[in-house]
């Protein structure tokens, strides 16, 4: 095993700032990207639902008028 203890692992041989700085930002970016994509998808589907409702309202109105 490379590491004597957990603190030894986190110290990364004195390069903790560089190694964890690289991995931390990478992890954060790779989490945010799919979250934004999923949110965009949900928003697009919600917009579609709103249009259905608007269409239904329009149909209802047309029904009353006819």
Partner 1 sequence: MPSSIRFFHFASPARFYALATRWSPALWVLAAVLAAAALYIGFFVAPTDATQGDAYRIIFIHVPAAWMSMVLYLAMALWAAIGWALNARLASMFARAIAPTGAMFTFLALWTGALWGRPTWGTWWVWDARLTSELILLFLYLGYLALVDAIDDTRRADRAGALLAVVGSVNVPIIYFSVKWWNTLHQGASITLSSAPTMAQSMLIAMLLMTLAFWAYAFAVVFKRTQAIVAERERHAQWLTTTRKLETA
End-to-end CA distance of the chain: 81
Cα distances (Å, whole numbers) of residue 41 to 24, 30, 32, 38, 44: 26, 17, 14, 5, 5
Q: Does 2 bind partner 1 (CB under 8 A)?
A: yes
The single residue among 4, 6, 7, 12 that binds partner 1, judged by CB under 8 A, is: 12
The single residue among 4, 6, 29, 65 that binds partner 1, judged by CB under 8 A, is: 29
- Asked if 16 and 10 touch (Cβ cutoff 8 Å), the reply is yes
Q: Does 41 bind partner 1 (CB under 8 A)?
A: yes
Query: Which chain residues interact with partner 1 by CB under 8 A?
Result: 1-3, 9, 12-15, 17-19, 21-23, 25-26, 29-30, 33-34, 36-38, 40-41, 43-45, 47-49, 51-52
């Amino acid at each position: 095993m490379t590491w004597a203890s957990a603190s030894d692992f986190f110290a990364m041989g004195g390069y903790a700032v560089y190694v964890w700085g690289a991995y931390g930002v990478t992890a954060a970016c790779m989490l945010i990207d799919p979250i934004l994509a999923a949110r965009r998808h949900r928003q697009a589907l919600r917009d579609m639902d709103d249009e259905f409702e608007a269409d239904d309202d329009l149909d209802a109105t047309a029904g009353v008028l006819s």
